Amino acid sequence: MRPSLHYDVLVVGAGVAGLTAGARLAESGARVCVLAKGVGSTHLAAGTVDVLGYDPDRVESPASALPAFVGARPDHPYALLGVDAVGPAVDWFATRVERGPQPGYRYVGSLERNHLLPSAVGAARPSALVPETMAGGDLGAERPVCIVGTRVLREFHASLCAGNITRLGIESRALEVKFEIDRPEVNALGLGRRFDDPAFRRDLAARLGPLVQGDERVGLPAVLGLRDPHGAWSDLQERLGRPVFEIPTLPPSVPGMRMFEALRAALRAAGGRLVMGARVVGAEREGARVTALRVDTAGRETIFGARSVVLATGGFASGGLALGSDWMVRETMLDLPLRGVPPPGSPRFRPEYFDEQPMAPVGVAVEANLRAEGTENVLVAGAALPGAEPWREGSGEGISLTSGYRAAELVLASDGVAAAA
């Protein structure tokens, strides 16, 4: 069927990989449309850029550890992308956040050294680039910590967090304060909104000020503002006269929302389009070329034509891959060939969550240039790539950013879009 709408490139998925690919392509002059059935995993993640955290022991420096890491794993996305591809992608991201809709908000750090940030339960989590609002929580520093919680936020327990930080050898204690909140259901989102209000911060700081002691730094759940996190965080630091840092909470993740908004703004600023709520249900093909995607739009299918497609639909959690009750695994958009599926009869899962899970590295079979096997013009980015276990490796955002960025470059190189621009 003849396409109704034409783009140079269609990107499917609005997570970190999809938005990065889309924005990068649009910035190079390509006509890009990002199609997504909904918001991606940003809102569920910590909002940090984890590049490499474990191999399998904790990694101090991703830059130093990556060559050996990929040497031992020739099928890993980082091996495919090349270790040198990570830096430019991460730098690109950091500058897009700085140009983003939250004035002054930025990421700090580099591939040279991982931060060691406390999680909501007080475990140390290695991460390369982190929002400035979190950096003060680095457990590599000795400075004592005061974790501030509030009863209204059920998913953040200050004493649990502080207790575990103490176990890691950092002096730490918990404080409970009352947050003035008038909502029937309180979550990080509701609190994030409140912290945008200077009067709310002033009141909180006035009550908190007398309670913190010595040279304690103050850890709060990551709710310090949705619109102006830099302003909210700076304001609190100034009022308390000491470092303040955010600790990621359960979803909805306020720092994750900021990350999404920064990437979305980059896409929009470059003239890229984003269609949210649209499900891709199939493709039009000419031989090995996908010439168009069939999209379930209101009332009927609409055919979106394009010269290239970037598939950034995620893994099992995002619905890019699905495991049926018949134990068959499929790629859900184009039924592309997969790699890494455990052979029939062999174990697929192990009992412990953080065990090496046989099903975990399953992904779309790709060639070295990220092209999906059996296609000429479908490139794969993000968690749909095979060979990684991001939650064990602490590598999710690193893989998504790098593969999204790289996919865009490969499309530009193969497609002549850049030359036209």
Partner 1 sequence: MTEVLHELLRGSLDHCVKCTICETACPVSNVTPLFPGPKYAGPQAERYRVDDEPSVEWSVDYCSGCGICTQVCPQGVKIAEINAQARHKLKQQKGVPLRDRLIARPTVLGRLGTPVARLANASLRSRPVRVAGERVLGVHRDAPVPRFAGRTFRSWARHHSSPASGRRVVYFHGCGTEYYEPDVGEKTVAVLEHNGYQVDIPKQGCCGLPLQSNGLFDDARKYVLRLARALAPHARDGALIVGNATSCTLMLKRESREILGLLDDPDLKLVSERTYDVCELLLELHDRGELKTDLQPVEKVVAYHAPCQQQGHWIGKPALELLALVPGLEVRELDARCCGIAGTYGLKREKYDVAMAAGADLFDQIRTSQAGLVACDSETCRWQIEHATHKPSAHPIELLHRAYRL
Which positions touch partner 1 (CB under 8 A)? 2-6, 33, 36-40, 43-44, 182-185, 187, 189, 193, 251-252, 257, 265, 268, 273-279, 295-300, 302, 305, 318-319
| Of residues 274 and 341, the one with the C-beta less far from partner 1 | 274
Q: What minimum distance in Å lies between the beta carbon of 45 and partner 1?
A: 11
| Of residues 80 and 303, the one with the C-beta less far from partner 1 | 303
278: three-class secondary structure by DSSP: coil
| Of residues 53 and 255, the one with the C-beta less far from partner 1 | 255
Q: What minimum distance in Å lies between the beta carbon of 147 and partner 1?
A: 23
Q: How far is CA 398 from the centre of its chain?
A: 8
Q: What minimum distance in Å lies between the beta carbon of 314 and partner 1?
A: 9
Distance CA 270, CA 79 (A): 30
How far separated are the first and last CA of the chain, in Å rounded? Answer: 28
Which residue bears the tokens 């002691």?
A: 213
Q: What minimum distance in Å lies between the beta carbon of 38 and partner 1?
A: 3
Taking each continuous run of H as one helix and of E as one strand, the counts in the chain are 13, 21
Q: Are 90 and 398 in contact (CB under 8 A)?
A: yes
Q: What minimum distance in Å lies between the beta carbon of 321 and partner 1?
A: 14
Q: Are 47 and 27 in contact (CB under 8 A)?
A: no
| Of residues 250 and 338, the one with the C-beta less far from partner 1 | 250
Q: What minimum distance in Å lies between the beta carbon of 408 and partner 1?
A: 20
| Of residues 186 and 411, the one with the C-beta less far from partner 1 | 186
Q: Are 221 and 120 in contact (CB under 8 A)?
A: yes
Whats the size of the chain, residue-wise? 421
| Of residues 154 and 167, the one with the C-beta less far from partner 1 | 154
Residue 116, token pair as written in the block? 């060691």
Distance CA 236, CA 223 (A): 12
